[in-house]
């Protein structure tokens, strides 16, 4: 964030645009990077390369499963981590990178996903009558042809939904086959926690054991990540010209209100700042934050933004079981 602090923001739209695209760092990236590195070979300096680790006895690579609730920040974290990674480069039709990023649309079947991969890797001859298994075989072959070494599948739980016309066992197999293909591809999948349950439904557990699980960490009050969240919030407020009184404990209240869930806490923090900018307020006030938090929540009684001392509000809310 330091590099942008020197730019002066004048108009309201300028400030809002700046705020919206700000990525707040507080250590989650390092957690994910740590897991990601384990999927790859290292160079002589011990740094990760773009070559997936492959078990020489079986010829298989392995996978990583990023799990978290909806809105927790999985997609933002994945995008950020991949962009910041020095060896993984995104593959697009116009750019020969080594990493393919796919977002599964809500209704996609396993065949549809294979077709999306074929399209993204420049295979134009998709025959609609093609069987899912064949589409997948060609997809895996394409990885080798175009130099894709890592496949990232976001919203992966969508292909594992059961229902008519859906084949969950085949979907699980397709994921396993990605890690068994001859060109050696590392697989990263992200989704809500039911993704893990769906993969575990395979009786043999063969696919599940090939994945390491990484849960999106929360931001506990008093932790270093909470401190860094505070730094991001305060710097952003400064940048858009809104004063924050430390004694009001805005940061603690936001994290408490959203139970430390990253995406939601960032969103609420930004919403509070956005509102102050739009209304040209010089300083943040608890009453306004409370109003924003209440929106869409109905009558929820006392909120963490109740305008009395934070210690008192916290005790009161804990007594009614807010933190659980
Ligand atoms: N570290 C972050 N900095 C800024 N915004 C974030 C951050 N993490 C999440 N967000 C925002 O929170 C919202 C939800 O995140 P998203 O990645 O879509 O969650 P998920 O993929 O887990 O459903 C998005 O608007 C996203 O931009
Ligand atoms: Mg997402």
The structural domains of the chain, with segments of one domain joined by +, span 2-22+219-319, 28-215
Ligand with smallest separation from the Cα of 101: 2
- The pLDDT value recorded for residue 225 is 93
- The pLDDT value recorded for residue 318 is 93
φ, ψ of residue 139 in degrees (nearest 5): -55, -50
Single out the residue of 120, 128, 173 nearest to residue 151, CA to CA. Answer: 120
Question: Which CATH number does 28-215 carry?
Answer: 3.40.50.300
User: For a substitution probing ligand 1, which of 68, 73, 271 has the most ligand atoms within 8 Å of its CB?
Assistant: 73
- The pLDDT value recorded for residue 300 is 82
Q: Which mean pLDDT values do the consecutive 10-residue runs of the chain (324 residues) have?
A: 64 97 90 95 96 92 95 94 94 93 94 94 88 93 95 96 87 95 91 96 95 93 94 97 96 96 95 97 96 86 94 94 75
- The pLDDT value recorded for residue 87 is 96
- Report the run of H or E that residue 215 belongs to, with start and end: strand 211-215
Using the mean position of ligand 2's atoms as its centre, give its distance from the Cα of residue 72 in Å.
8
Using the mean position of ligand 2's atoms as its centre, give its distance from the Cα of residue 159 in Å.
14
Ion ligand 2: residues, CB within 5 A, are 75
Using the mean position of ligand 2's atoms as its centre, give its distance from the Cα of residue 75 in Å.
4
- The pLDDT value recorded for residue 1 is 47
Q: State the Rg of the chain over Cα.
A: 23
Beta strands of 21-162 (E only): which ranges? 40-42, 48-52, 63-67, 99-103, 150-154
Using the mean position of ligand 1's atoms as its centre, give its distance from the Cα of residue 265 in Å.
9
User: For a substitution probing ligand 1, which of 65, 76, 84 has the most ligand atoms within 8 Å of its CB?
Assistant: 76
Using the mean position of ligand 2's atoms as its centre, give its distance from the Cα of residue 77 in Å.
9
Nearest CA to ligand 1 atom 11: 263
Single out the residue of 154, 184, 158 nearest to residue 171, CA to CA. Answer: 158
φ, ψ of residue 80 in degrees (nearest 5): -65, -45
Ligand with smallest separation from the Cα of 154: 2
Q: Which residues approach ligand 1 with their CB closer than 6 A?
A: 23-24, 68, 70-76, 262-263, 266-267
């Amino acid at each position: 964030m330091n590099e942008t602090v020197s730019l002066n923001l004048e108009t309201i739209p300028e400030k809002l645009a700046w705020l919206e695209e700000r990525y707040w760092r507080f250590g989650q990236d390092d957690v994910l990077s740590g897991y990601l590195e384990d999927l790859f070979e290292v160079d002589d300096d011990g740094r990760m390369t773009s070559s997936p680790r492959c078990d020489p006895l079986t010829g298989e690579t392995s996978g990583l499963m990023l799990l978290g609730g909806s809105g927790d920040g999985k997609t933002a974290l994945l995008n950020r981590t991949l962009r910041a990674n020095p060896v993984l480069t995104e593959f697009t039709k116009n750019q020969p990178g080594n990493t393919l990023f796919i977002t599964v649309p809500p209704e996609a079947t396993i065949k549809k996903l294979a077709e999306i991969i074929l399209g993204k890797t420049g295979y134009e001859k998709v025959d609609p009558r093609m069987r899912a298994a064949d589409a997948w075989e060609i997809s895996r072959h394409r990885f080798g042809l175009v130099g894709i070494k890592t496949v990232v599948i976001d919203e992966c739980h969508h292909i594992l939904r059961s229902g008519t016309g859906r084949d969950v066992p085949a979907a699980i197999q397709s994921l396993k086959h990605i890690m068994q293909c001859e060109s050696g591809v590392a697989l990263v999948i992200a989704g809500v926690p039911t993704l893990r349950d769906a993969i575990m439904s395979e009786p043999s557990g063969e696919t599940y054991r090939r994945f390491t699980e990484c849960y999106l960490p929360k931001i506990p009050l008093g932790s270093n990540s909470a401190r860094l969240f505070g730094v991001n919030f305060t710097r952003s407020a400064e940048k858009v010209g809104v004063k924050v009184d430390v004694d009001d404990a805005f940061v603690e209240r936001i994290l408490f209100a959203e139970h430390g869930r990253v995406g939601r806490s960032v969103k609420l923090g930004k919403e509070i700042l956005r509102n102050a900018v739009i209304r040209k307020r010089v300083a943040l006030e608890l009453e306004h934050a409370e109003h924003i938090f209440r929106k869409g929540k109905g009558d929820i009684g006392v909120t963490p933004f109740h305008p009395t001392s934070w210690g008192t509000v916290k005790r009161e809310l804990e007594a009614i079981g807010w933190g659980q």
